[in-house]
Amino acid sequence: MVYVINLDNTPLMPCTSAIARLLLSQGKAKCIKRTPFTIKLLYQTTNYTQPITLGVDTGSGKIGSSAVNDKGDVLYMSQVEIRNDISDKLKQRSKYRRNRRNRKTRYRKARWLNRKNSIKNDRFSPTMTSKINSHLREIEFVQTILPISKIILETATFDPHALKNPAVLNNKWLYQKGINYGFANTKAYVLDRDNHTCQHCKGKSKDSKLEVHHIVFRRNGGSDEASNLVTLCKICHEDLHSGSITLKGGKTKGHLKHATQMNSIRTQLLRLLPCAEETFGFVTKEHRQLLDLPKEHHIDAVAIASQGNEVQFKTNVVLFKKCVSDGDYQQSKGIRSEQRITTGKIQGFRKFDKVRYLGVEYFIKGRMSTGYAILMDAKGTKITLKPIPKFGKMERVQARKSWIISQETIQNIS
């Protein structure tokens, strides 16, 4: 399937590969995108289109999107991996900046609250801004290659306080009944689970006093969940804290960061896309099971866009996109930063450029000033190649962008 754009940049209905080859060979169209393959007509034609629905499976880690027309034909599928490294990179940049100021302006008085962006009203953190923009960018991308007439967003709302403390619900079952249902508290559940028996000595100590122990100590971030709790007799419990015995396993505390982010993402997307409709995960799950489709983000998007109606996959190609940073903040290396790091092109290549090496397309993960490069696939996995690839044997296919795109053919989809 080939996507088509009119001379005035309005998207048209996609065509087959045979028609695209004919238009290109006759000089009536030109290629403007390689992934996905998109052509632009060199003459003005009528803008006749069919209604197409875009379904978006929103998320704080991955986004799924799919376009389905009113006949149930699936015309587009993609999965976007959102950045979750912005906070760490900002801390790293702050470290480099602080070190540089201590070396170069050591007598300058420290300043704070002098950044207008950090004290303005209605401000979102860089992480949240990036995640919201990633959703909007994917929607805008699809709208440039397909005539989208309707947008459906699968959103979710969470109550982090109730998730941490179910007791605040006052016996109103807003969530599914958990493993503690029927017990007074988690301690009672753990004792019953372990059959009121010390899990270390199995009752050999003859100590009848039982205690519930955190496998990963709370001071080390241990969770209060049952998976981090174990029943011990008083003797074994004291021996463990004295260091005589040890236990394996346990679980650290979980966090509700993504649940909190999804609340904000939902609110902002519905505000910025007032024409979009809203649906929920349990509806998508029901539709996907009725269609007998596997659980994937792009498949969920198909169920969202089709609204439970039968679908036909006119394309079995899925676009996998990974959002990447604009560049690296570190500009030099060494104890005293005496070695400058090249941030521009090296022999015509930049980081995240798409290149062809020995007939296979890769992305540049790292570069060496001596003319060598480390390559990776679209998912960021390093490709071990021997000998190390040289720039001289590479062909630059596409300049770096803020996301890297690859496409895969999905089998066994009917």
Say how far residue 51 (Cα) sits from the centre of its chain.
29
CB 10 within 8 A of CB 47: yes
Q: CA angle, 354 as apex, 353 and 360 as ends, to 5°?
A: 145
Cα dihedral across residues 112, 117, 118, 120: positive or negative? positive
Has residue 175 got a pLDDT over 50?
no
Find the mean pLDDT for residues 339-349.
Answer: 85
Residue 214 clears pLDDT 70, i.e. is over it: yes
Residue 310 has pLDDT above 60, yes or no: yes
Residue 287 has pLDDT above 90, yes or no: yes
pLDDT at 356 over 80: yes
Q: Which of 38-47, 187-196, 253-262 has the lowest mean pLDDT?
A: 253-262
Q: Are residues 232 and 367 in the same domain?
A: no
The average pLDDT across 184-201 equals: 84
pLDDT at 60 over 60: yes
138 and 184 both lie in a single domain: no
Percent with pLDDT over 70 in the chain? 89
Q: Is 37 exposed, middle or buried (0-12, 13-18, 19+ CB in 10 A)?
A: middle
Question: What CATH number corresponds to the domain at position 267?
Answer: 3.30.420.10
- Statement to judge: residues 231 and 177 lie in one domain: yes
In a domain, 96, yes or no: no
Interval 154-160 mean pLDDT: 78
Q: Which amino acid is at 58?
A: T
330 and 343 housed in the same domain = yes
Residue 54 confidence (pLDDT): 97
Q: Indicate whether 101 belongs to any domain.
A: no
Give the pTM.
0.76
Residues 59 and 152 occupy one common structural domain:
yes
Identify whether residues 306 and 213 lie together within a single domain: no
Residue-range definition of the domain harbouring residue 353: 325-401
**Total number of domains in the chain:** 4
Which helix (DSSP H) or strand (DSSP E) does residue 164 occupy?
A: helix 160-164
Judgement on whether residues 171 and 149 belong to the same structural domain of the protein: no
Nearest in space to 258 (alpha carbons), one of 55, 58, 56:
58
**Is residue 91 domain-resident?**
no
103 located within any domain? no
User: What span, in angstroms and rounded, lies between the C-alpha atoms of 32 and 210?
Assistant: 71
Classify the C-alpha dihedral 10-53-309-318 as positive or negative. positive
Q: Write down the mean pLDDT value for the chain.
A: 86
The answer to whether residue 223 scores a pLDDT higher than 80 is no
Could you tell me if 336 and 312 lie in one domain?
A: no
Residue 309 lies inside a defined structural domain of this protein:
yes
